[in-house]
C-alpha cells in the first residue's frame, strides 16, 4: 500500500471513530432542557447579556406570545433608516458616521466627523513591508482566511499590542476599521495573481476617500467607479455594520474578549465565525441559487414558472436539495427585514443604470411568491419575509465585485460593530463566559494498555 493510500485509510478510520462516538441522542436535549444554539424553545435567543450598541426588532412578547411587528434596526438608540436618510440628504457617505456612532455612542458633529475621517484616512494604508511580507509571501485562496491572518499579523506591527487600556483598545479598533478594506482588497489581488493566474493590481488607498470608494478603487484595475456604485456599497456597509450582540460573530467577540485577550485575537476569532456558511456566507448561496433558477426557468416573468421551480426547491427536488430557499426568512424579522427594504430600493436604482431590470424583476417575483409556497409546503401559517441576503449578492454582482469578496465585504462593515462590542465587554462585562455543558457519558472502568483489543 502506498504512503498516500495508507494515510487516506487512516483518516477514514479516524472519521469512522469520530462519527461512531460523538452522536448524542436528540431526546436528551429535551430531557435536560438544553438551549441548543443558545435559543429558547420558542426560537428567541437566550438572554446572556445587556448592550447599549444595537437592537434588532421584529416582534414583541405579549402574554408570553411573540407578536410580529414591522422590522427595525437600531444603532445606539437611533433608527438606522434615519441615519441613512440624513446622509443621503447631505450627499454624504454614511458608513464612517455609522462607525463613529457605534464606537462612541453619539452622532458626530461636523468637526468630530472630519477628525474621525482624517484619522481613518491616515491608517488605510498598511504598515511598511506588510503587503510584501504578510500578504504576497503567503497568499490564500480564501480572502476571509487571509484577512484573519492579516489581523493576527497586525499584532506584530503594534508597539503595545497587549495594553488593555481602553484608549489603546479604541486606537487599535479604529485602525483596524481603517485597514479592513485594504486587507480584503490586497488579499484578493494576491489570490488573483497566485491562484487565478491573472494580473494583480496594488493601488494605494486615498486618505480623502470613504471606505466604499477606497474599496472599489483598490479592487479595480482602472481604479474607476461611479457615484451611484460607491453610494450603493456604502449603504450595504451601513446595513451590515451591526446586528445586535447575539449574532454569532459579535457573540464571539464578547466571549473571546471576556477571557482578557488582545484586540487582534478577538477580531480574528470574529472573522472565523463570519466566514461560516451559516453566518456570513449566506448571500453567496442566494446567488448560486439564482444561477440555478435562471438556468431552469425559461420565462423569468412567468409567476407560474417561477413558483413551480421555487416549490421544487422548497420540496428538496431542485438546487441543493436542502429544502431551503436562500434569502427568505429570518430568526427575528417576520413582517419585513428593514435592511432588505432599503437595499432593495437601491438595487432597483442600480439595476436601471446597469440594464439589469429583468433580473431585478425576477428577484422581486421570487420575494412575492416564496412566503406562500413555504407555508404551503410546510403546512404552516408562520409568517416569513425576505432578508437582506436576497438582494446583497445581486447588488455586489451589479457592482462587478467577485463572489469571493462578498463575505469579506460583510467583515469590512461589521468590524465597526465588533469593535463596539469588544469595548463594551471590556468596560461592562467583567466575567469570563462560562456556560454549562451536561455530560451524558457514563463513567467506565479503565482498560490497561496491555488488555485493549
Q: Would you tell me how many other CB atoms lie within 10 Å of the CB of residue 368?
A: 13
Q: What distances in angstroms separate CA 446 from CA 104, 314, 443, 449, 450, one per listed residue?
A: 56, 49, 9, 9, 12
**Catalytic residue check, 203:** no
What is the three-class DSSP state of 34? coil
Tell me, letter by letter, the H, E, C secondary structure of 48-95: CCCCCCEEEEEEEEECCEEEEEEEEEEECCEEHHHHHHHHHHCCCCCH
What is the three-class DSSP state of 231? helix
Bridge partner residues of 68 (DSSP): 59
**Catalytic residue check, 389:** yes
Q: Which of 240, 243, 330, 421 is catalytic?
A: 330
Q: Which of 55, 240, 389, 421 is catalytic?
A: 389
Q: What angle do CA 219, 222, 228 make, to 5 degrees?
A: 75
Beta-strand pair 78-79/54-62: unpaired
Q: Which of 264, 303, 283, 276 is nearest to 399 (CA)?
A: 283
Alpha carbon distance 422, 251 (integer Å): 10
Q: Which residues are catalytic?
A: 330, 389
Amino acid at each position: 500500500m502506498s504512503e498516500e493510500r495508507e494515510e487516506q485509510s487512516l483518516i477514514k478510520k479516524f472519521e469512522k471513530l469520530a462519527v461512531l462516538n460523538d452522536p448524542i441522542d436528540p431526546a436528551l436535549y429535551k430531557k435536560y432542557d438544553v438551549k441548543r444554539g443558545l435559543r429558547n424553545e420558542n426560537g428567541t435567543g437566550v438572554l446572556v447579556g445587556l448592550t447599549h450598541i444595537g437592537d434588532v426588532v421584529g416582534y414583541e412578547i405579549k402574554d408570553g406570545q411573540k407578536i410580529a411587528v414591522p422590522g427595525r434596526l437600531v444603532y445606539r438608540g437611533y433608527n438606522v433608516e434615519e441615519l441613512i436618510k440624513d446622509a443621503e440628504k447631505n450627499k454624504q457617505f454614511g458608513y464612517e458616521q455609522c462607525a463613529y456612532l457605534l464606537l462612541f455612542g453619539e452622532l458626530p458633529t461636523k468637526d468630530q466627523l472630519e477628525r474621525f475621517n482624517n484619522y481613518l484616512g491616515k491608517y488605510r494604508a498598511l504598515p511598511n513591508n506588510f503587503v510584501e511580507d504578510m500578504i504576497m509571501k503567503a497568499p490564500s485562496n480564501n480572502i476571509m482566511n487571509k484577512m484573519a491572518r492579516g489581523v493576527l499579523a497586525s499584532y506584530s506591527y503594534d508597539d503595545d499590542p497587549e495594553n488593555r487600556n481602553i484608549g489603546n483598545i479604541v486606537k487599535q479598533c479604529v485602525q483596524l476599521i481603517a485597514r479592513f478594506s485594504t486587507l480584503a482588497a490586497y488579499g484578493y489581488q494576491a489570490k488573483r495573481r497566485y491562484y487565478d493566474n491573472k494580473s494583480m493590481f496594488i493601488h494605494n488607498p486615498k486618505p480623502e476617500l470613504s471606505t466604499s470608494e477606497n474599496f472599489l478603487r483598490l479592487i479595480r484595475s482602472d481604479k474607476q467607479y461611479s457615484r451611484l456604485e460607491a453610494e450603493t456599497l456604502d449603504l450595504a456597509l451601513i446595513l451590515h455594520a451591526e446586528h445586535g450582540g447575539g449574532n454569532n460573530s459579535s457573540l464571539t467577540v464578547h466571549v473571546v474578549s471576556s477571557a482578557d485577550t488582545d484586540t487582534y485575537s478577538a477580531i480574528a476569532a470574529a472573522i472565523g465565525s463570519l466566514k461560516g456558511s451559516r453566518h456570513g456566507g449566506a448571500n453567496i448561496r442566494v446567488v448560486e441559487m439564482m444561477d440555478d433558477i435562471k438556468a431552469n426557468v425559461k420565462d423569468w416573468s412567468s409567476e407560474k414558472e417561477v413558483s413551480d421551480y421555487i416549490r421544487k426547491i422548497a420540496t428538496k427536488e431542485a438546487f441543493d436539495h436542502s429544502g431551503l430557499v436562500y434569502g427568505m426568512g429570518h430568526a427575528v424579522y417576520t413582517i419585513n427585514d428593514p435592511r432588505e427594504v432599503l437595499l432593495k430600493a437601491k438595487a432597483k436604482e442600480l439595476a436601471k443604470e446597469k440594464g439589469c431590470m429583468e433580473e431585478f424583476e425576477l428577484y422581486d417575483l421570487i420575494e412575492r411568491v416564496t412566503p406562500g409556497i413555504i407555508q404551503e409546503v410546510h403546512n404552516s401559517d408562520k409568517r416569513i419575509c425576505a432578508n437582506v441576503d436576497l438582494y446583497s449578492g445581486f447588488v455586489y454582482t451589479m457592482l462587478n465585485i467577485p463572489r469571493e469578496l462578498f463575505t469579506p465585504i460583510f467583515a469590512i462593515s461589521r468590524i465597526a460593530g465588533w469593535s463596539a462590542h469588544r469595548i463594551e465587554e471590556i468596560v461592562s462585562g467583567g466575567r469570563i463566559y462560562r456556560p454549562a455543558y451536561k455530560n451524558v457519558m457514563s463513567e467506565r472502568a479503565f482498560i490497561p494498555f496491555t488488555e485493549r483489543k
